[in-house]
Structure formats: C-alpha cells, structure tokens
Structure 1
Amino acid sequence: MDKDNRNFLLLFDIDGTLISGKGIPKQVFYEVVLNRFPYLSPDPGIDLSGQTDPAIVRQVLHSGGYELEINYELIGEILNDFTSLLNERFRGENSPVVLPGVQSLLETLRQTENCYLGLVTGNIKKGARIKLKSSGLMEYFPVGAFGDDSEIRNDLPPLAMRRAAAYYRQSFTPQNTWIIGDSIYDVRCAHANNLHCLAVASGRTAHRQLEAEKPDILVRSLEEIDGFFNRIRHHIS
C-alpha cells in the first residue's frame, strides 16, 4: 500500500497543547485537597505537567506524609470533587483559552482525508470533557484514553488506538500514529509505545527540555505549523 494512502491517527494532549486553563485547574485542585487535608502544603512544588490526575493526587498526598490514607476510593472522591468544582469555575471569563493556531488546525485536520483525531491525556474523562466543552473543542475528539483508564500514562496510547479503531472502523499502525503534546511525558509515552511524537513548547515545559527528549518534530506553537499533515506524513515517507 502506498504510504500516502494509509490512515493516520493523531492523539492530542489537552492542557498546554490545546488549551490554557489560566491556572484555574491547579487552584481548584489544591482547594479540594486542602479541604480534606488542611495541614498539607498549599503548593508543594510538584511538577503537574504531563502526569495523570490519579498520579498527581498520589504524589501530592505522599509529599505531605499521607501515604497510609492513599487508596483508589479516596483518589476517586478527590477527583470527583475536583471536576465538580472545576465545572462551576470554568464559566464566562474563567473559561479556558484555546491556544494559538489550534482551532484552525483541528478544523483542517478534521477535513483531511485519512486523518483521524483522538486524545491521550492525563485528565480523567469527566475533567477532559469539561475542559473541551468549555473551550468549544469537544466536537473534534470523539475518542481517547484518559487518566482514569490508567494511572500510568504510558499505558494510554494502545488503549486510545484500540478505541479509535473501533469508533472510526479503521486500522491504525504505530508507524502512522502520533502523540502531540507539550510535556516530556508526552514524548516519553510515545517512545515507550514506538509511536511518533510532535512536541509543542506551548505549555510549562521549556523548548530545550523537550528537545532533549528527542521528539520527531518540535515546534514552539501549533500556530507555526505549515502543512501540518503533510509534514507528519512525509516525515516517515
């Protein structure tokens, strides 16, 4: 089969890649955690970029010495409270901001033959839906894998690929599947699954840090991309 006729699956991260939450998700998260654990540091300095939501809860509680209290039920309760409060806060001027170039890029990709979109995100599914709905991007992503599917981010791409294959009724190979994200963990989960990666330095991770992880393509903004799909397709031609 001609490589140009193969199906391409593009799996996007959300925070820092598609949208900016303007710091509100982090504020809401610590508000919820501190409500249950008032003696915890209000910001222990943990890098939240690219982590799954359950892993973030576990790390934050561990940093405060609450190892014995950590269990799946507690993590679920905290994340349920978090998403409920986030849904209330993401209104009006507090709605997340779509990052430059994203809307036009997604619209172009959606209309591109042999190109299919999905998600690989550390957000739990409910949180992902809140963020995408609040930013007007929900319609582009009918499938994906989420933080409540696995606490380990590297587990998510194969699941997203299977769900995309079932939803779109198409087959996708690792060679033609791309992870698109803004953190070192996006790049690492792509490498761990023998997938390609386009890293974008539009989030909290510096360009030089992303470069050190050796993504296939590295850009400073999705606004920079000229002929995005052709660039990806021809990268492996």
Structure 2
Amino acid sequence: MTLPADGRAPMLVLFDIDGTLVHSAGVGRAAITSAMIDVYGTPGPIDELPFDGMTDPQIVRTLLRAAGFSDDRIDAGLDRLWTAYAAGLEDEIADRRARMRPAPGVPALLDALEETGATLGLVTGNIAAGAEGKLSAVGLWNRFPFGAFGCDDADRNALPPIALERAFRHTGTRYAPGRTWVVGDTPHDIACARASELPVLAVATGRFSVDHLRRAGANEALPSLGDTDRVMSVLACA
C-alpha cells in the first residue's frame, strides 16, 4: 500500500525502540544492573521499577536516588557507568541474540514507509550506544539515519524537537508537525509526542493495552504493527 499521491508534504516517522521496534530479551536491564553494581555498588530497587518509556539516565537517577545517593554522587559516576553499560550490553547481546527479534510487522512496515518516500528516525530513551546495539542485533540499525536519544536529554519530552532538528540536517526538509508521527508502546511515548504537538500511533506490544493507550491520548492505538496496510492507513490520515 502507498500513501496518496496528492502532493502532501513529506512524512517523518519517529520510532521508539524497546517494545515498539524490538523485543530485546532483557539485555538492557541486565546490562544496566551489572554496570550500576560495578560503579555504584548497587542497582537500587531495580526489580521494583518498570522501565517502560523511561530514558536510561532517568532510570539510573531514579534507582540511585531511591538507594539514598545524592545527585552529586550520581553525577560523579555517570561517565564510568555508561562505559560499563555499553561494554556489558555487548556481552548480553552476544549471549541472548538468538532470543532478540524485531517486533511483529516491523521490517515490512519500514519497507512500506520507505517506498512512499517517508523519512525514518528514532525517539528513544536508550542512550545512542544502547540503541545501536539493540537495533544492530536484529538488523535494523541502518534503517534509521538519525534520532534523539536518552543521552541527549534525560527528559523524554525534550527529545522530539531534537529529532526534528536532526531530520532537517539530514534531509534539508522542515517536517510539519501534522506530518511527523511518533510511534511507541507506552504512555511516556504518547506524552512526549503531545508535548511537541505531534500525532502519535501507539501499539500494544508492551505492558499497556490498546484501551489504556487510547485513554492516555494516542491518536490511534493498534494491537501491533503487524498489519502493514492498517498502519499505513493510520499514518496517511495526518
């Protein structure tokens, strides 16, 4: 299916990673746990914290504050933490690669979007090294020439404007808000899109149901990205 050849402005689609593009077999949680123990001596109450939609820096700070660390003490270890995390993630991916996979329908959807001339990018809470590792493991990293990452800003709501600016640098096009979609699987993805007045397609491929995502403010919510024609119809309606 193709989008209408009606002279409409180009489309930009910004994807979340975990739960939206990739099922990553827990590599990120395992790597951050090990890195936090190495650098800070504790991962904090990590088993009690859902990571869904949080940026990596937000996860770390939340856990360490809960464990009684001051912000100054947290900041002092962050450079070492991210180095340890990137190394640990490589090891975890090597161990679990066979269980990592693209989410249903993702490769076909990316193909369909590219055929229409849409530009693809990322808006993710992962730091850039984590995004590259997870997407490379399932053969998707090269599909996304730019993005905004957790290392750009710990506040997810600040990431869409960064991605829009990088889209302009990459393509020379200023994408209209109504032609820029955010695609994600959590209420945090919806909130970050809404903060920039962007339409958002939510998919119930993580912990949140279609009804939950609709109540959270998604323009549309679908069970998955598996029905390419249905997804493309939604994106064509902006």
Q: Provide TM-score, normalisation by structure 2.
A: 0.90
* CA–CA separation in structure 2 for the residues paired with 1:34 and 1:93: 21
Task: Write out aligned runs for 1:55-94 (5 A).
Answer: 55-91=58-94, 93-94=96-97
In the alignment, structure 1 residue 50 sits paired with structure 2 residue 53: yes
1:100 is matched with which residue? Answer: 104
Moved more, 10-19 or 90-99: 90-99
Moved more, 42-51 or 79-88: 42-51
SS in 2 for 1:119: strand
Would the aligned equivalents of 2:40 and 2:77 in 1 still touch at CA under 8 Å? no
In the alignment, structure 1 residue 8 sits paired with structure 2 residue 6: no
* CA–CA separation in structure 2 for the residues paired with 1:187 and 1:60: 23
Q: 1:135 to 1:191 in 2, by over 3 A?
A: same
Unaligned runs of 5+ in 1: none
Would the aligned equivalents of 1:7 and 1:171 in 2 still touch at CA under 8 Å? no
Q: 1:38 to 1:59 in 2, by over 3 A?
A: same
* CA–CA separation in structure 1 for the residues paired with 2:162 and 2:235: 22
CA shift for structure 1 position 123: 0.7
1:208 is matched with which residue? Answer: 211
2:127 is matched with which residue? Answer: 124
Would the aligned equivalents of 1:8 and 1:116 in 2 still touch at CA under 8 Å? yes
Residues 193-228 of structure 1: CA deviation (Å, up to 9, x unaligned): 100000011123333331221200101110034243
1:21 is matched with which residue? Answer: 24
Q: Which amino acid aligns with 2:12?
A: L
Q: 1:178 to 1:3 in 2, by over 3 A?
A: farther
CA shift for structure 1 position 3: 6.5
1:153 is matched with which residue? Answer: 156
* CA–CA separation in structure 2 for the residues paired with 1:103 and 1:68: 41
* CA–CA separation in structure 1 for the residues paired with 2:54 and 2:108: 27
Task: Write out aligned runs for 1:226-237 (5 A).
Answer: 226-234=229-237, 236=238
Q: 1:39 to 1:133 in 2, by over 3 A?
A: closer
Would the aligned equivalents of 2:186 and 2:202 in 1 still touch at CA under 8 Å? yes
Would the aligned equivalents of 2:25 and 2:96 in 1 still touch at CA under 8 Å? no
Residues 34-69 of structure 1: CA deviation (Å, up to 9, x unaligned): 233345546341121111111111001011111255
* CA–CA separation in structure 2 for the residues paired with 1:17 and 1:212: 19
RMSD over aligned Cα atoms: 1.9
Would the aligned equivalents of 2:220 and 2:234 in 1 still touch at CA under 8 Å? no
Would the aligned equivalents of 1:58 and 1:75 in 2 still touch at CA under 8 Å? no
SS in 2 for 1:22: coil
CA shift for structure 1 position 111: 1.7
Task: Write out aligned runs for 1:214-229 (5 A).
Answer: 214-229=217-232
Task: Write out aligned runs for 1:111-190 (5 A).
Answer: 111-113=115-117, 115-190=118-193
Q: Provide TM-score, normalisation by structure 1.
A: 0.91
Q: 1:22 to 1:93 in 2, by over 3 A?
A: closer
SS in 1 for 2:202: strand
Identity %, equivalent residues: 33
Q: 1:177 to 1:73 in 2, by over 3 A?
A: farther
Q: 1:192 to 1:3 in 2, by over 3 A?
A: farther
Q: Which amino acid aligns with 2:106?
A: V
* CA–CA separation in structure 2 for the residues paired with 1:60 and 1:171: 38
SS in 2 for 1:91: helix
